[in-house]
Structure 1
Amino acid sequence: MHSILQGKHLITFDLDGTLIDSVPDLAVAVRKALHEVALAAPDEDAVRDWVGNGAQVLMERALRWALNSAPEESLQTAAYEAFMRHYGMAPNALTQLYPGVEQALRALNGEGYRLALVTNKPKRFIAPILSHFELLPLFTLCIGGDTLSEKKPSPIPLLHVANQLDISPSASVMVGDSQHDIVAGKAAGFTTIALPYGYNHGEPIQSSQPDLLIASLVELVE
């Protein structure tokens, strides 16, 4: 195990951009939702830059792109509901695990670390996605963006996990791909580990000054 895990008992992970590349499926759902409200649809690269703050913000960004202005509330609601419906129909059609994810999670679980998931994705999608990859049993607790009153970059979801599992923040780690993960982790008193391959709105994750930057999760278990 990597030396940064010495004395740690809880490892929390982000989902999109950290464990899975979900943008292909998200982009399909965004395009179908915008088609329903008679708006132009973006390409996959555009959607990749919009992911990370939850489904509501994703659709708001998509609508702003299509309209070149802020959407009216009724349009925002209609587009969001359409997105949730389409994404819920096929959240795993094109989504893939990043290389080394399954190996690392199973090794960490086997070493006795408590694993938790803290994502801004709506909670209803977490279990179907993790179950698809046969990873759900590895996680003790899963928190979605709509589970609590606040989501990342707030530290509240991370502190909630630590409290629920009775583990000190100083013995906890946050692993993610975006500034929201690192900001939340630092504010919660967690050690922060960043991955450079995910979704960080075009900004290098190094600028968030994580405690450790790794190219792959397998670096934690080698």
Structure 2
Amino acid sequence: MKTHFSHLQSAIIDLDGTMVDTLGDFEVALNRTLADLDLPQIQRELVSRTVGKGSEHLIRSVLTHQLALPEVASSGLMCASRTLDDLYELAWPRYQHHYLAINGEFAQVYPCVAEGLQQLRSAGLTLACLTNKPLSFAKPLLAAKGLDRYFSHVFGGDSFERKKPDPLPLIRTCDILGTEPARTLMVGDSSNDAQAARAAGCPVVLVRYGYNHGEPVDAVDADAHVDVLTQIQGALTLSC
């Protein structure tokens, strides 16, 4: 039996790919970091396939991809002093520096996000933002885009011991909100969000315009799939 909207008390909303299209920020910050390491630049398509599991995973995935390029492998850059772990240790502080310098500058809020959040709040739901993005990145981004006012709590990928798709962040967020998982909706854009929600016992709605590692999100198990956040209430009401 799917969850009816009227049964809900709160909602947990993902950030990247759900509320804000941040691929531009990722692309710029990563390319500036790669330039610092004398590695080739990347295209946005690679970011869309690797984003979603936290900045650490993103950086490691990008470094692995770049180090495997023929021009890099044959250049001698991959030597004892430039293993993946060594490069990551160099890349992480540079990436933090570059990302914070442009946070939100190359990102856009998706259509109907503010209206959708207001609709959920007006329906009596308490909202929390839960993202795998570091909290020091997430809070300034929400503030810059005028979305912070909708949330009673904001949690990042470093707020808990584990990240989505592990259910722990959702379970802990439900505890802090004081709501049962079965009455707490997860809204996201990827299988990460859906897997975490199912394991935590939360209903889940996925948006179709996000990233989902480059795969069609309609194939992911969810209570509903929507084109914009303003469709959530209707989708959950009609699906039951």
Same fold (TM over 0.5): yes
Residue 238 of structure 2 is matched in structure 1 by: none
After superposition, give the CA deviation of every residue in 1:63-119 in whole Å (9 maximum; x if it has no partner).
111101894312111112111110011111111111110111112112221001111
Residue 18 of structure 2 is matched in structure 1 by: 18
How many Å separate the matches in 1 of 2:4 and 2:226? Answer: 12
Residue 42 of structure 1 is matched in structure 2 by: 42
What stretches of structure 1 of length at least 5 have no aligned partner? none
Residue 169 of structure 1 is matched in structure 2 by: 181
Contact between 2:64 and 2:84, CA under 8 Å: does it hold in 1?
no
CA-atom RMSD in angstroms: 1.5
After TM superposition, the score normalised by the length of structure 2 is 0.88
Contact between 1:155 and 1:185, CA under 8 Å: does it hold in 2?
yes
Contact between 1:183 and 1:208, CA under 8 Å: does it hold in 2?
no
Greater alpha carbon shift after TM alignment, 170-179 vs 67-76: 67-76
1:174 maps to a residue whose letter is M
- After superposition, residues 46-57 of structure 1 pair within 5 angstroms as 46-57=46-57
Q: CA deviation at 1:158?
A: 0.5
Residue 5 of structure 2 is matched in structure 1 by: 5
Say if 2:217 is the partner of 1:210.
Answer: no
After TM superposition, the score normalised by the length of structure 1 is 0.95
Residue 178 of structure 1 is matched in structure 2 by: 190
How many Å separate the matches in 2 of 1:72 and 1:57? Answer: 12
How many Å separate the matches in 1 of 2:4 and 2:92? Answer: 40
Give the % identical residues: 32
SS at match of 1:201: helix
Say if 2:90 is the partner of 1:78.
Answer: yes
Contact between 1:152 and 1:181, CA under 8 Å: does it hold in 2?
yes
How many Å separate the matches in 2 of 1:184 and 1:51? Answer: 16
Contact between 1:22 and 1:96, CA under 8 Å: does it hold in 2?
yes
How many Å separate the matches in 1 of 2:92 and 2:211? Answer: 21
Greater alpha carbon shift after TM alignment, 71-80 vs 153-162: 71-80
Q: 2:145 aligns with which of 133, 151, 176?
A: 133
Q: CA deviation at 1:221?
A: 4.7
Residue 237 of structure 2 is matched in structure 1 by: none
Residue 91 of structure 1 is matched in structure 2 by: 103
Say if 2:166 is the partner of 1:157.
Answer: no
Question: Considering only CA atoms, is the larger Rg found in Structure 1 or Structure 2?
Answer: 2
Residue 131 of structure 2 is matched in structure 1 by: 119
What stretches of structure 2 of length at least 5 have no aligned partner? 235-240
SS at match of 1:6: helix
1:202 maps to a residue whose letter is G
SS at match of 2:213: coil
Q: CA deviation at 1:220?
A: 2.2
How many Å separate the matches in 2 of 1:63 and 1:124? Answer: 23
How many Å separate the matches in 2 of 1:99 and 1:146? Answer: 28
How many Å separate the matches in 1 of 2:6 and 2:124? Answer: 12
Residue 205 of structure 2 is matched in structure 1 by: 193
SS at match of 1:115: strand
Contact between 2:171 and 2:200, CA under 8 Å: does it hold in 1?
yes
How many Å separate the matches in 2 of 1:107 and 1:173? Answer: 14
After superposition, give the CA deviation of every residue in 1:102-160 in whole Å (9 maximum; x if it has no partner).
11111211222100111100010111111112221211111100111001001111100
Residue 64 of structure 1 is matched in structure 2 by: 64
Residue 219 of structure 1 is matched in structure 2 by: 231
